[in-house]
């Protein structure tokens, strides 16, 4: 299993630095945000499997030729011997590091979800107190605020909510306002909050990896693109572009994610409204590559046991 450990370690390094940097700098995700999101998820999952798998296979190599049987023997040795033989100290430390990494990632994800849910619930309570229902738009609340604001709150034990300010309603035309509402409702319908929360947890779990923060920012940008595409399909490119330019950085996916708030990001969103989508063949090829990214570490980890079985 030492060969598998080396291959997994190499894959983990590739997915931790060069691959995400290249993806973040690439131009094609602007034309295929859904495909890019699939690829980001594959990179995160494959990178996690590779990091944990490299440690686990190195640590379990002295106990067998495949992960399943070696793990079983390792558990028997650890549970029956009071001390670990000196020659097995380093493998045991590697297995312990793999277990700690898994626990760290899982617990951080759970904590991030709990914190996000609590913050959104508090924000929902505050909005309910300070706003009034929009009679013309079910599930929408109006804030008496002159600033142009638009965001959405995913449902947490309640119905999702779209929040608009009075300043936004007065600023935009009916078509532009419809595009903004469609944009926010796309975030809710496509459950973008789940995606941004997962990558937020990844960023917080691995603060020593700058690439995790880069991935979080890229995913936040991609979900804005997806919501823009839904709004463009229902209300047209011109009203959407005007709305983005007018509202500027006020839109967000909710209080948890600031979204694209700087001028360059706003200009980028306006410009991409008129872009043609990436050809279908290219999207399929990228999706196949994303699937392969997950399959490779899985085969390296479980392949020998399946072949022996």
pLDDT digits (tens, 9 = 90+) for 196-237: 999 999 999 988 777 788 899 999 999 999 999 999 999 999
Burial class of residue 120 (count of CB atoms within 10 Å of its CB; 0-12, 13-18, 19+): buried
Give the predicted TM-score (pTM) of the model. 0.90
Residues 230 and 172: their CA atoms lie apart, in Å, by: 19
Residues 257 and 235: their CA atoms lie apart, in Å, by: 25
207 near 167, Cβ under 8 Å? no
- Please report the pLDDT score of residue 257 as a whole number: 38
202 near 213, Cβ under 8 Å? no
Q: Which has the closest alpha carbon to 271: 234, 304, 307, 228?
A: 228
- Distances in whole angstroms, Cα of residue 34 to Cα of each of 156, 241, 269: 25, 20, 15
User: 125: which 2 tokens?
Assistant: 């309570």
Q: Which residues contact 73 (CB under 8 A, 6 or more apart)?
A: 63, 64
Over residues 66-82, the mean pLDDT reads: 82
46 near 280, Cβ under 8 Å? no
Q: In 3-state terms, what secondary structure has residue 236?
A: coil
251 near 150, Cβ under 8 Å? yes
Whether the predicted pLDDT of 252 surpasses 60? no
Give the pLDDT confidence of 14-63 residue by residue, as tens digits.
999 899 999 999 999 999 999 999 999 999 999 999 999 999 999 999 88
Start-end of H helices in 131-209 = 166-171, 174-189, 192-205
- Please report the pLDDT score of residue 23 as a whole number: 95
- Please report the pLDDT score of residue 126 as a whole number: 94
Mean pLDDT, all residues of the chain: 89
The C-alpha angle 225, 231, 233, rounded to 5 degrees, equals: 105
Q: What is the chain's length?
A: 309
Inter-axis angle of helices 33-60 and 89-130, to 10 degrees? 150
Alpha-carbon radius of gyration of the chain: 24
Following DSSP, what letter does each residue of 65-114 receive, concatenated? Answer: SSHHHHHHHHHHHHHH-SS--GGGHHHHHHHHHHHHHHHHHHHHHHHHHH
- Please report the pLDDT score of residue 85 as a whole number: 55
């Amino acid at each position: 299993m030492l060969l598998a450990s080396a291959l997994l370690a190499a894959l983990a390094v590739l997915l931790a630095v060069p691959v995400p940097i290249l993806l973040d700098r690439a131009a094609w995700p602007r034309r295929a945000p859904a495909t890019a999101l699939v690829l980001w998820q594959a990179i995160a999952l494959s990178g996690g499997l590779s990091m944990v798998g490299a440690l686990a296979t190195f640590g379990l190599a002295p106990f067998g030729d495949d992960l399943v049987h070696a793990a079983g023997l390792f558990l028997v040795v650890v549970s029956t011997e009071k001390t670990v033989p000196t020659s097995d100290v380093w493998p045991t430390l590697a297995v312990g590091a793999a277990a700690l990494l898994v626990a760290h990632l899982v617990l951080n994800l759970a904590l991030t979800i709990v914190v996000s849910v609590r913050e959104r619930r508090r924000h929902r309570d505050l909005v309910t107190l300070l706003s009034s229902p929009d009679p013309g738009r079910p599930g929408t609340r109006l804030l008496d605020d002159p600033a142009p604001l638009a965001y959405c709150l995913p449902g947490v034990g309640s119905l999702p909510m779209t929040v608009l300010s009075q300043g936004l309603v007065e600023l935009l035309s009916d078509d532009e306002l419809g595009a903004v509402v469609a944009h926010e409702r796309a975030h809710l319908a496509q459950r973008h909050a789940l995606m941004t929360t997962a990558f937020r947890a990844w960023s917080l779990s691995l603060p020593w990896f700058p690439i995790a923060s880069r991935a979080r920012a890229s995913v936040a940008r991609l979900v804005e693109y997806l919501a823009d595409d839904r709004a463009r399909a229902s209300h047209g490119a011109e009203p959407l572009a005007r709305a983005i330019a007018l509202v500027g950085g006020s839109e967000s996916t909710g209080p948890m994610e600031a979204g694209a708030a700087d001028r360059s990001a706003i200009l980028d969103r306006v410009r991409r409204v008129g872009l043609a989508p990436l050809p279908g063949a290219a999207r399929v090829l990228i999706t196949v590559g994303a699937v392969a990214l997950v399959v490779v570490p899985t085969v390296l980890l479980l392949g020998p046991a399946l072949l022996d079985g």
